[in-house]
Structure 1
């Protein structure tokens, strides 16, 4: 051990001990992302220089003017695939170089590099310089424990004031494209404004989704009235009856808004606005489109847009960073309501007709069909059918024998009550052209219907006409008018374009006259016929129609001698 110490002492006395001092500074001092002053690889970039200075000092007097061979490695410490900064000389992140330095004299190298457009302007670029003796086994030796690495951070200038504290002022404004009641009345129904008051009162203060509509659009404008806003994000939250469809930038703006693809269970979208920063005094107009959900139906819509950034916005201006849309909705029901009847006309024969009748005849079948042609379900639709069955005097004109619907689920009906049969009464209905709910006792049928999109409901009613009553009452032509209507309650989120949609089934009944010819008409007709016959016979006798054959031959015999006498002359 004593020998090793003596060896080190002899070596150290023959080789000088030096210290290497290294510094790094940048020109300019920060990356100006707003100034792209050069092109590299066909791209706009910001060109800069790192000034690496090395100085060698020693405590040995005879070594003050000697040259020292050094080596250094400069590299940009970027642990990412696409580096933000690249060295010009090597077109890479690393540079190796050997230099000679005079003791006590600082030597500075300019290492040129460039910075590309990037989305990460918050974290600085780290520049590292590693240095040491080029020939560690010869000449001066580096002081034991002396540092051999120096690092420097290069920050990005954020474009804000000298204190580099950005204070943005974000504002957002949005407008949905769904009309209110008056706008719907004027644009869709094309009704004069003076007549829109009734529709506006019926629809209330909500917004109207007209039939056939599947999408909802929101036009929005995002502005920054303050300083640059870094890492600006747009948050979009919407109700569960909507699905996010698209975001489109308007007016050919160069500002980009990129939204994540994942639509999570909270119905929220997070979008990055013009990464890495949203410029001062910039604005961007865009349109959001949503699709209505097939599985979730709500009587309202809610969309909340909010903007935030990494900047510290003033408390006096932060209130306009969000904009909430909330509207009660009224959906226009897209229903097709039709009716059909197997019997539209029936004639009652006279009593002396050869045609035979039963007491209850003939049969009829009424069918009412409701189709939901729309995208939204129609709930609690009221169907009301009134069939004129009994006259005011109690004569029963028809009888219902069956009633059924082909969709049991979601439909609740009150079946028609059978009316007790009473004996028929003589009644004059000739002054009634038709019987309906206003002048007859009707048989009511009421249903509460729930119709899912693209589904239909059929209501079938069958019955028979009572010919015994129809023969008893007096009329020549009588129309039995069945009235069916569908309606929605005022509290329903759906509405019909007409307050009440009404359909009629008209069953026309006619009767042959049943009468007896009076005796005086028979006697008068007989006497008239005999007199006409006598006059005819007299006329024929005068014309010789009734002369005998013998009388004709006698006249011919008298004419023959007279003829011969004339010939002899």
Structure 2
């Protein structure tokens, strides 16, 4: 019998039932069908109990047990003689309930031959007999047969203890200002409350004395979340305690009383969340020698919890509803790729409602930005503490705004960031800000998003030098040859150097640089190009070949001035000389508009901030061209231009940098103006040598006694001498 109806129910076993998970691979698991008799000879649709052990023959034996757990509903045992490991046999106990049609029967126990090492007994569960109280303890027992071993097993039911527990808190609301308890071994008064844990036991055939083990956990949710326990036991200052309640027929109800206290407010932050007190109870281990001890009701909860609250300044309902408002702005509107990009966020937080607890400002840091620190701006307002944290794999700055942030509070803070690593960034980045509190109602402020545009800017400087800047003809003891063999036979060397320098802050990916070289006038050579050298990420080509006459190239060393220029091309220049044009001098200008020019096309690779690309064009002035044109000065101008074609970023500027200029070499007849060619160090050295020669002459004159000659007598000495002479004459 499985329920309280007077009509009998029917259980039918189908031990060879196959469950088809797949059409080609059925599993033989067995099944038992339960038919509830709703009225005489009228049965319900069957309730199926399906086995779980393949080839276990579940349902071979079925035995009604009676009410094993004394809950008012009959229970049943089902044999599975070939289930379990090594097909050693199992017996499954199912408990009846009020609504079998909806909930089916509940599996409460699975028995196996426990006295064998493997837990197996051939045919265990092939036969079952139940419903009889063999030991007169008011509970039905069970006999299990194992035909393969020729043995039976007797299982005696244990008494079931039902417990009713309660926990009372006095008071439920803790006022931090109401300090009535003395903390042991200190002079500190604390806020406390009383906890009473009471329990009562009942059951059929239970022992005269039952020991109940009660474990009380304080603020137990904080333990699962890693928080600080806000309350502790007054005597032990620990968050947990285990007590023992002795109950029975003579004492069906017993209580334990504890005093717990609230820790100081600066020791924890959470003041809003209820303080959960959890009670877990169980039967204490039986004393040695006690046979067949009772068990707790399997269907009764052994867990109980109650909540205490901290008194808040939130009115009679003790519920705070804040009104958090957030505003922010930045000190710049755009970021330049490659720059330091220091950004300051000025943030103002206001609470116009009731107290906001565990209030924090959350600032989500975008990719490429790094938190530097707090910049204090408004000295009259209090300043929150801020720190960098990783929250759910997101980089954030968290600022503590108060616990609580009381009504009318206004806080201001400046957060400083450095935004770099923007090479792959989109058109803008954003800082996301919001105030969060632990209040249940209206816990967040309005979200604020501050966006910064990302731009790419590169300042490119084009400079050059002509060495020499002027050539004075004629050369003494030199005449040009009609058929030159060596480059020295043509004329003096003239070198132009061009530098493309990136002053940043952004980099460029590629640029084109073009040089127009004053090469020929009709059929006469002007500056005969010998070779082109480059330094940095640049490569050049020409529209015609260099040195078409195949002149023998001389081994020449660069002058100190030229070497100094080359050394400084890749470094930032504090004092840059402008491109020399020489157009202010009188003379006829020859450039690509009125002569034939050699076209030099150069491709410049990536130039980062502070890097340069240098082109050096070495040539010879073709003096034979200028001999028939004596006394006529000329300016030989080369033109140079560049145009950036790409930058290495997703973001491209609306216009790419470009510029053009010219540089000239003056050719004239007469006395050379050499003032330009005297380096500063030569002048300084000449002055020092002059001073040294003067010092040596002075020393030599002093050694020769030049400064030791006798001085002429003074007037008074002459008068005295004349008086002395006259006196001597009178005496004579």
Using the size of structure 1 for normalisation, the TM-score is 0.57
Match of 1:113 in 2: 261
Deviations 1:7-50 (A, max 9, x none): xxxxxxxxxx99987541242x3356899999979999972313
Rounded to whole Å, the distance in 2 between the matches of 1:328 and 1:125 is 49
Q: 1:471 aligns with which of 615, 627, 631?
A: 627
Q: Relative to 1, partners in 2 of residues 1:476 and 1:149: Cα closer, same or farther, differing over 3 Å?
A: closer
Q: 1:377 aligns with which of 494, 507, 513?
A: 507
Rounded to whole Å, the distance in 2 between the matches of 1:83 and 1:163 is 25
Rounded to whole Å, the distance in 2 between the matches of 1:43 and 1:444 is 96
Per the TM alignment, residue 91 of structure 1 is displaced from its structure 2 partner at its CA by: 1.3
Rounded to whole Å, the distance in 2 between the matches of 1:259 and 1:219 is 15
Alignment of 1:215-230 (within 5 A): 215-225=341-351, 226-227=353-354, 228=356
* 1:390/1:440 contact within 8 Å kept: no
Rounded to whole Å, the distance in 2 between the matches of 1:389 and 1:256 is 71
Rounded to whole Å, the distance in 1 between the matches of 2:586 and 2:256 is 118
Rounded to whole Å, the distance in 2 between the matches of 1:43 and 1:420 is 102
Match of 1:458 in 2: 614
SS at match of 1:378: coil
Residues 1:345 and 2:431 aligned together: no
SS at match of 2:624: helix
Deviations 1:81-105 (A, max 9, x none): 7533212221112456799999999
The root-mean-square deviation of aligned C-alpha atoms, in Å, is 5.7
SS at match of 1:468: helix
Per the TM alignment, residue 232 of structure 1 is displaced from its structure 2 partner at its CA by: 4.7
SS at match of 1:260: strand
Q: 2:276 aligns with which of 112, 117, 126?
A: 126
* 2:337/2:505 contact within 8 Å kept: no
Per the TM alignment, residue 126 of structure 1 is displaced from its structure 2 partner at its CA by: 2.4
Bigger shift: 476-485 or 144-153? 144-153
Per the TM alignment, residue 357 of structure 1 is displaced from its structure 2 partner at its CA by: 0.8
Residues 1:365 and 2:365 aligned together: no
Residues 1:269 and 2:395 aligned together: yes
SS at match of 1:470: helix
Alignment of 1:10-49 (within 5 A): 22-27=166-171, 29-31=172-174, 47-49=191-193
Per the TM alignment, residue 115 of structure 1 is displaced from its structure 2 partner at its CA by: 3.3
Q: Relative to 1, partners in 2 of residues 1:260 and 1:38: Cα closer, same or farther, differing over 3 Å?
A: farther
Q: 1:307 aligns with which of 434, 442, 449?
A: 434
Alignment of 1:86-97 (within 5 A): 86-95=232-241
Deviations 1:475-515 (A, max 9, x none): 4433324344556689964999xx977776442222259xx
* 1:25/1:50 contact within 8 Å kept: yes
Rounded to whole Å, the distance in 1 between the matches of 2:629 and 2:313 is 99
SS at match of 2:625: helix
* 2:181/2:192 contact within 8 Å kept: no
* 2:494/2:618 contact within 8 Å kept: yes
SS at match of 1:480: strand
Rounded to whole Å, the distance in 1 between the matches of 2:282 and 2:615 is 98
Rounded to whole Å, the distance in 2 between the matches of 1:234 and 1:35 is 34
Alignment of 1:548-563 (within 5 A): none
Deviations 1:125-165 (A, max 9, x none): 3224679999x99xxxx9x9799975312245676566676
Bigger shift: 355-364 or 125-134? 125-134
Match of 1:248 in 2: 374
Q: 2:453 aligns with which of 327, 334, 346?
A: 327
Rounded to whole Å, the distance in 2 between the matches of 1:436 and 1:156 is 94
Alignment of 1:145-164 (within 5 A): 151-156=305-310
Match of 1:286 in 2: 414
* 1:388/1:435 contact within 8 Å kept: no
Per the TM alignment, residue 72 of structure 1 is displaced from its structure 2 partner at its CA by: 7.2
Q: Relative to 1, partners in 2 of residues 1:311 and 1:398: Cα closer, same or farther, differing over 3 Å?
A: same
Residues 1:259 and 2:394 aligned together: no
Q: 2:331 aligns with which of 177, 196, 204?
A: 177
Q: Relative to 1, partners in 2 of residues 1:503 and 1:33: Cα closer, same or farther, differing over 3 Å?
A: farther
Rounded to whole Å, the distance in 1 between the matches of 2:330 and 2:450 is 11
* 2:458/2:505 contact within 8 Å kept: no
* 1:478/1:510 contact within 8 Å kept: yes
Per the TM alignment, residue 323 of structure 1 is displaced from its structure 2 partner at its CA by: 1.5
Per the TM alignment, residue 467 of structure 1 is displaced from its structure 2 partner at its CA by: 1.8
Rounded to whole Å, the distance in 2 between the matches of 1:354 and 1:297 is 64
Q: Higher relative contact order by CA 8 Å / sep ≥ 6: 1 or 2?
A: 1
Rounded to whole Å, the distance in 2 between the matches of 1:339 and 1:284 is 53
- Residue correspondences, number: 435
Per the TM alignment, residue 462 of structure 1 is displaced from its structure 2 partner at its CA by: 2.4
SS at match of 2:362: strand
Rounded to whole Å, the distance in 2 between the matches of 1:236 and 1:133 is 52
Match of 1:517 in 2: none
Residues 1:76 and 2:218 aligned together: yes
Q: Relative to 1, partners in 2 of residues 1:257 and 1:370: Cα closer, same or farther, differing over 3 Å?
A: same
Q: Relative to 1, partners in 2 of residues 1:344 and 1:132: Cα closer, same or farther, differing over 3 Å?
A: closer
Q: Relative to 1, partners in 2 of residues 1:363 and 1:97: Cα closer, same or farther, differing over 3 Å?
A: closer
Rounded to whole Å, the distance in 2 between the matches of 1:219 and 1:305 is 11
Rounded to whole Å, the distance in 1 between the matches of 2:654 and 2:186 is 60
Q: 1:400 aligns with which of 523, 529, 533?
A: 529
SS at match of 1:471: helix
SS at match of 1:90: coil
Rounded to whole Å, the distance in 1 between the matches of 2:187 and 2:462 is 66
* 2:500/2:612 contact within 8 Å kept: yes
Rounded to whole Å, the distance in 1 between the matches of 2:323 and 2:511 is 50
Could you list the runs of 5+ residues in structure 2 that have no partner in the other structure? 1-132, 139-160, 203-210, 288-293, 483-489, 549-582, 672-732
SS at match of 2:491: strand
SS at match of 1:83: coil
Per the TM alignment, residue 451 of structure 1 is displaced from its structure 2 partner at its CA by: 1.0
Rounded to whole Å, the distance in 1 between the matches of 2:441 and 2:200 is 50
Using the size of structure 2 for normalisation, the TM-score is 0.46
